[in-house]
Amino acid sequence: MSAPPVRPYSGARVLLGVTGGIASYKAAWLARLLTKAGASVDVVMTPAATEFVGAITFEALTGRAVHTGLFHPGRALDHIKLAREATAIVIAPATADFIARAAAGQASDLLSACLLAATCPVLLVPAMNDHMWAHAQTQRNAAHLGELGYSVLQPDEGMLAAGEGSGPGRMPEPESIFAHVGRLLERPGALAGKRVLVTAGPTQEAVDPVRFISNHSSGKMGVAVAAAAWRRGAAVDLIAGPLSVAAPNGVTVHAVESTEDMAAAVQRLLPDSDVLVMAAAPADFRPAEPARSKIKKTNAPLTLTLAPTPDILQTTKQARRPGAVIVGFALETDDAVASGRKKLAAKDLDMIVVNDATEAGAGFGVDTNRVTLLSRTGGDEQLPLLPKTEVADAILDRVEKLIGGR
């Protein structure tokens, strides 16, 4: 069964400003990502930007007219209208020259005029030669824009234009900028400014130096929770077993291998966390005595003795900050809801997310999940089959309510 397409930004109106830098070719992909996510994207290009990429590319990708000049008969008030209608403005790439104009409050082209007329959140994504970025004037301009309330992304280090070597100045990849736009679009809620700790993925328990026991967890559910919490303005720590998917932008990743490592990381980070979401699938058993060298292949049957691993939620109970919201997951194959309810009480959780691994479209590896949310305070909720990104939002909506009530 397939889930409905995810269009998290439908209803948002994003003004994408493109200035005349070599990275402007990457802005086309950003326009595509935003449009695919459901946003209406109004592209405003500086005249210099049109020397690098054609307006027609953006028009075709967004399905909307592209704006390139301040003085167009019949569209005299575009700069006011575009600024007023924007839910968010992202300028990618932002040239040194544009950053200087914006910092000086100039309105000499359509894009800088829009910026002055806007009241919505703004994200600037500088991209330039490393010396241009390091120049004291550029640094001062960027810092001033930060003081004015704009979000200014730090450029990445990496290969610059052909023959220009590498250094800090490179535009972050469109996927990363897209994630930052999400943080801009999200309404500030109870998670803004909070510390959220999320665990994700399987663990690996060594059999010998080259073999391990693990499970089919991909980490997608935990990664979706971490990404959504970050978009909502939280500082996010992600304790990740070996993931099959990329870790999300903005979060601090703590890579672990075994359940014991994961328990130690939770123990260390939990005292500073306002929320813990245990979406990982740590192994419940490990080989009791992992071999020190590779076990040789023989024809004789091999018996492994397994020992239970620490129960992370139990062993870290005393590390919880008073008032912290604790969310567990229960992946079951029999009597899922009844087992979940037992776990909720036994592990002293605020909420448990129960899913049945035998159901089509739910559980490990897939992009969707069908879960039931059980809370200590009651109000159980059975959600339909949804993309994991939407399940993550449903979980965090509840977490925000719980935080709000404390």
Ligand X SMILES: Cc1cc2nc3c(=O)[nH]c(=O)nc-3n(C[C@H](O)[C@H](O)[C@H](O)COP(=O)(O)O)c2cc1C
Catalogue the active-site residues.
215
Within 10 A of 128 (CB to CB), how many other CB atoms are there?
Answer: 26
CA nearest to 36, candidates 186, 152, 220, 175: 175
Interaction of residue 142 with ligand X, rule CB under 6 A: no
Q: Where are the alpha helices (DSSP H) in 303-387?
A: 312-315, 336-346
| Residue 351 binds ligand X, judged by CB under 6 A | no
Binding-site size for ligand X (CB under 6 A) equals 16
From CA 292, how far away is CA 172, in angstroms rounded? 43
**Among the listed residues 50, 80, 97, 304, the single contact to ligand X using CB under 6 A:** 97
Q: How far apart are CA 129 and CA 160, in angstroms?
A: 7
What's the number of CA atoms in the CB half-sphere (13 Å) around residue 316? 29
How far apart are CB 250 and ligand X at their closest, in Å? 24
Enumerate residues 6+ apart whose C-beta is below 8 A from 258.
Answer: 203, 204, 205, 206, 283, 286, 309
Find the shortest distance in angstroms from Cβ 25 to ligand X: 11
- Determine which residue in the list 25, 36, 38, 48 makes contact with ligand X, applying CB under 6 A: 48
Residue 128 CB, nearest distance to ligand X (Å)? Answer: 3
Chosen residue from 46, 203, 368, 389 binding ligand X by CB under 6 A: 46
Interacting residues with ligand X between 57 and 96 (CB under 6 A): 95-96
CA angle, 149 as apex, 194 and 101 as ends, to 5°? 150
Binding mask 101-140 for ligand X (x = CB under 6 A): --------x-----------------xx---x--------
| Using rule CB under 6 A, residue 208 touches ligand X | no
- Characterize 66-79 residue by residue with b for buried, 16 or more Cβ atoms within 10 angstroms of its Cβ, and e for exposed: bbbebeeeeeeebb
Angle at 399 between CA 398 and CA 400, to 5 degrees: 90
- How is residue 328 written in tokens? 């567990």
* Strand pairing report for 13-18 and 40-45: parallel
Does residue 141 touch ligand X according to CB under 6 A?
no
Rg from Cα positions in the chain:
25
Compare residues 12 and 96 and give the one whose CB is closer to ligand X.
96
Q: Which is nearer to ligand X, 44 or 353 (CB)?
A: 44
Is residue 174 a contact point for ligand X (CB under 6 A)? no
Task: Provide, rounded to whole angstroms, the least separation between the CB of residue 145 and ligand X.
Answer: 14
Determine which residue in the list 27, 30, 49, 224 makes contact with ligand X, applying CB under 6 A.
49
Q: Which stretch binds ligand X (CB under 6 A): 19-27, 192-200, 221-229, 232-240?
A: 19-27
Does residue 20 interact with ligand X by CB under 6 A? yes
Shortest spacing between CB 93 and ligand X, in angstroms:
6
Residues found near ligand X in the complex (CB under 6 A): 19-23, 46, 48-49, 95-98, 109, 127-128, 132
